């Protein structure tokens, strides 16, 4: 049986005197092994992309995390060197992609920057440095060269009882990692909060208009998909939604012939 295909967002990275369209391997590995799907990397080509032509060929969208932040001008803020780095070519690609994928009711999984992109794309705002707010914890990654230490489970999140995410993870408190400075400020219309940290930080949202699996998390389930039960359940549920979409897509193609 053919496997579903997942569009995976990329970053613009300078390396060896060139600009690379790149993504961390943990995301493509999680798609391949956690969701049992085929990852397809999307270059940051902005308006040069025909989004419908791309989406016609895939079954879902994964919005990856990144060291870069969404540019504040996109939600009424002001850019600063301290809040950077920025990746405006990624912004110009992912935000239109999100809006079109929502319109077409695609399975969507946003992670870290991906959640922030979702909120901005649909009309929300971001807190640029959440650790500077009174009563908020420091959600940044620990200073460490070892990635396992940086991505270690760091705090609890409460899953909203009776919500859509609870159907995947249960009405429970789970442990998650934490590697972010930005967070949801004003929640965008069309999103529902599915999980929060103990300090009130929004940790997961769902898309009201998209049935099935359509979530974004502030934590990084891709890193521990092979060993953490909650991370594995998220990617397995994403894979189920992808296969459902693939069957519907193939049925529609067959009917059109």
Listing DSSP states for 136-202 in one string gives: ----SPPS-S-HHHHTS--EEEEEPTTSTTHHHH-SSEEEE----S-EE-SPPTTEEEEEEETTS-E
In this predicted structure, what is the pLDDT of residue 148? 87
* Residues contacting residue 8 through CB under 8 Å, at least 6 positions apart: 23, 27, 28, 31, 39, 40, 41, 42, 62, 64
In what helix (H) or strand (E) does residue 60 lie, and over which residues does it extend?
Answer: strand 60-63
Percentage of the chain with pLDDT > 70?
A: 100
Residue 117 bears catalytic tag: no
Q: What is the pLDDT of residue 136?
A: 86
Please tell me whether residue 79 adopts helix, strand or coil conformation: coil
Annotated active-site residue in 112, 117, 180, 194 = 112
pLDDT band at 256 (very low <50, low <70, confident <90, very high): confident
Residue range 101-126, pLDDT digits in tens: 999 999 999 999 999 999 999 999 99
Q: What is the pLDDT of residue 50?
A: 97
Residue pair 179/69 in contact (Cβ under 8 Å)? The answer is no
Predicted confidence band of residue 100 (pLDDT cuts 50, 70, 90): very high
pLDDT of residue 172: 82
pLDDT digits (tens, 9 = 90+) for 71-97: 999 999 999 888 889 999 999 999 999
Q: Which residue is catalytic, options 117, 194, 203, 222? A: 222
* pLDDT digit string, tens, across residues 180-198: 989 999 999 999 999 999 9
pLDDT number for residue 129: 85
Answer yes or no: are the C-beta atoms of 80 and 30 closer than 8 Å. Answer: no
Give pLDDT tens digits for 43-73. 999 999 999 999 999 999 999 999 999 999 9
Q: What tokens were used for 38?
A: 């085929």
Residue 141: per-residue pLDDT: 84
pTM given for the model: 0.95
> What pLDDT band is residue 250 in, cutting at 50, 70 and 90?
confident
Q: Which long-range contacts (CB under 8 A, 24 or more apart) does 71-75 make?
A: 72/126, 72/128, 74/120, 75/120, 75/124, 75/125, 75/126, 75/185
Residue 176: name the closest of 241, 130, 225, 131 by CA. 225
CA 93 to chain centre: 14
Query: Is the link from the previous residue into 85 a cis peptide, with omega within 30 of 0?
Result: yes
pLDDT at 254 over 80: no
What is the residue-wise DSSP string for 107-141? -EEEETHHHHHHHHHTT--EES-GGGSTT----SP
Q: How many CB atoms lie within 10 A of CB 18?
A: 7
71, 139, 180, 220: the catalytic one is: 220
pLDDT at 23 over 80: yes
Contacts of 26 (CB under 8 A, 6+ apart): 220, 222, 223
204-238, pLDDT tens digit by residue?
999 999 999 999 999 999 999 999 999 999 999 99
- pLDDT greater than 90 at residue 133: no
Residue 67: name the closest of 108, 123, 12 by CA. 12
CA dihedral (90, 180, 134, 197) in degrees, to 10, reads 110
* pLDDT surpasses 90 at 140: no
Q: Is there a catalytic annotation at residue 44?
A: no
pLDDT number for residue 130: 85
């Amino acid at each position: 049986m053919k496997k579903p295909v997942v569009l995976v967002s990329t970053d613009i990275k300078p390396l060896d005197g060139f600009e690379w369209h790149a993504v961390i391997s943990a995301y493509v590995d999680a798609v391949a092994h956690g969701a049992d799907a085929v990852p397809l990397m999307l270059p940051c080509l902005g308006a040069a992309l025909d989004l419908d032509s791309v989406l016609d060929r895939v079954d879902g969208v994964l919005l990856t995390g990144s060291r870069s932040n969404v540019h504040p001008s996109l939600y009424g803020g002001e850019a600063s060197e301290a809040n950077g780095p920025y990746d405006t070519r990624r912004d110009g690609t992912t935000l239109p992609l999100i809006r079109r994928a929502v319109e077409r009711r695609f399975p969507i999984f946003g992670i870290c920057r991906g959640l922030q992109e979702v909120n901005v794309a649909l009309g929300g705002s971001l807190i640029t440095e959440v650790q500077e707010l009174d009563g908020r914890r420091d959600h940044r990654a620990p200073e460490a060269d070892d990635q396992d230490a940086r991505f270690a489970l760091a705090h609890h999140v409460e899953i909203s009882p009776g919500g859509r995410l609870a159907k995947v993870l249960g009405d429970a408190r789970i442990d998650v990692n934490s590697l972010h400075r930005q967070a949801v400020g004003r929640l965008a219309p069309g999103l529902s909060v599915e999980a929060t940290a103990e300090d009130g930080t929004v940790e997961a949202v769902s898309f009201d208009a998209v049935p099935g699996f359509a979530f974004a998390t502030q934590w990084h389930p891709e890193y521990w998909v092979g060993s953490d039960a909650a991370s594995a359940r998220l990617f397995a549920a994403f894979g189920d939604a992808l296969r459902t979409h693939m069957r519907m897509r193939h049925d529609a193609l067959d009917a059109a012939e």
